[in-house]
Amino acid sequence: MKAIVNGKLITPGPKGEFRVEQGKVVVFEDRILEIIDKSEFEARGRNSFEEVYYAQGQYVSPGFINLHIHGCAGSDTMDCREAGLHQMAIFQLSTGVTSMLPTTMTYDMPRIYEALKLVRQGKSYKEGARILGANMEGPFISESHKGAQKASNIRKADFTLIKDYSDVIKLITIAPEELPEGSDFISQCQKAGIRVSLGHSSADYDCAINAINNLGVTHVTHLFNAMTGLHHRNPGVVGAALDSDAYCELIADNIHVAPGAQRIVHKVKGTDRIVLITDSMRACGLGDGESELGGQKVFVSGQKAVLEDGTIAGSIITMDKAVHNYAKNLNISVWQAVECATRTPARAIGMDKELGSIEVGKLADFAIFDENVHVSITIVAGKVLFLE
């Protein structure tokens, strides 16, 4: 058995809300075995435990879950390189991420298949953040709201194109207004266990709310970005997202979504429907300079990344910084922001019985960090994989 002591445990309270417990010790192997009082730990004695980690008064959080990440540390999912995907998983550990969905882009189908095969293989990696499967962003999107996606590779949604990869695709983005008439694409995804997200869409409010309330869409991709906005006469995709129970991704880099907009969304949706994501690309972690995204040049300066025409590209934020920004922007506690990077994303992909909170029986995934969400230790399935 192993234990973490002298930490501020972020755990669900009696009503499910995240809270901080002090004077508690979490006991684990690959899964969480017990949460005991420190006095009981001392009574059992240090020698009763194989390994003991001292948190030094820092937060002991569930490991972060990054549902939308294209790349980092110089690599991208679409590189289709095993070494690159492994490098991404290793880098994520330093940011407190213990589980992730490498995310594809709007490429030609053979290249997407190659990437999905690699992600399937990556699910067995043991050294980095756990790869849960793939997030497929495109090619079933709207050209008018393609964002940083390449228009020439956009296609109509057709389940036969992805059915052989239903075991690895966890989440897929579509533009519902682009679905062929009478399409059962969303229901076929549901039957296959794939969650469907609405994004890169020119849909009006009626189309979007119908997709969420009646067709089975459960998720909205990077809210506000690459979709119809909120207008008082046409609430658009943003309005449908706010007027429904859909999980909403937010890129909290303060560039893709301003702090004021983040506060508005939080008041409407709450921590149980907001999913913090990075949407990061290969330039994440590399600093300023020229990079690449989806075969297009990207220029990074500070915290901003743009295409040659000035279009905002994917972000370069990391999940630890996203949690810190979100807590600061909303003037909420760190542990409240943590829920949006742990239990909520786990629920969004139907994995909250295994991941997302410090509870007995769940996988022993932890991130230990200070008040500024600076990560010092990351533990995946009971093993320390990052130690500063």
What mean pLDDT, rounded, does the chain reach? Answer: 96
Which residue intervals of the chain bear CATH 3.20.20.140? 64-348
User: 64-348: CATH homologous superfamily?
Assistant: Metal-dependent hydrolases (3.20.20.140)
Catalytic residue, chosen from 279, 320, 352, 365, is 279
Question: For 331-370, where are the alpha helices, taking DSSP H only?
Answer: 334-339, 343-348
CA distances (Å), origin 99, targets 69, 96, 130, 157, 366: 11, 9, 4, 28, 11
CATH number for the domain whose boundaries are 2-61+358-387: 2.30.40.10
Mean pLDDT of all residues in 173-193: 96
Which residue intervals of the chain bear CATH 2.30.40.10? 2-61+358-387
On whether the CB atoms of residues 209 and 242 are closer than 8 A, the answer is no
On whether the CB atoms of residues 363 and 355 are closer than 8 A, the answer is yes
350 or 292, which is more confident? 350
Tell the burial category of 180 from Cβ atoms under 10 Å away from its Cβ (0-12, 13-18, 19+).
exposed
Least confident of 131-135, 197-201, 204-208, 296-300: 296-300
55 or 289, which is more confident? 55
And the tokens for 146? 């393609």
Helix H or strand E encompassing 3? strand 2-5
* % of the chain beyond a pLDDT of 90: 90
Residue 384 reports pLDDT greater than 90:
yes
Mean pLDDT of all residues in 55-71: 98
pLDDT at 222: 97
Q: Residue 373's closest CA among 338, 324, 331?
A: 324
Mean pLDDT of all residues in 72-83: 96
Q: Residue 4's closest CA among 36, 170, 286, 77?
A: 36
Residue 147 reports pLDDT greater than 90:
no
**In the annotation, is 279 catalytic?**
yes
pLDDT at 298: 87
And the tokens for 366? 């932890």
Rg (CA), the chain: 20
pLDDT at 146: 87
Per-residue model confidence as pLDDT tens digits over 188-239: 999 999 999 999 999 999 999 999 999 999 999 999 999 999 999 999 999 9
Angle at 158 between CA 153 and CA 159, to 5 degrees: 125
Mean pLDDT of all residues in 331-354: 98
pLDDT at 303: 84
pLDDT at 305: 86
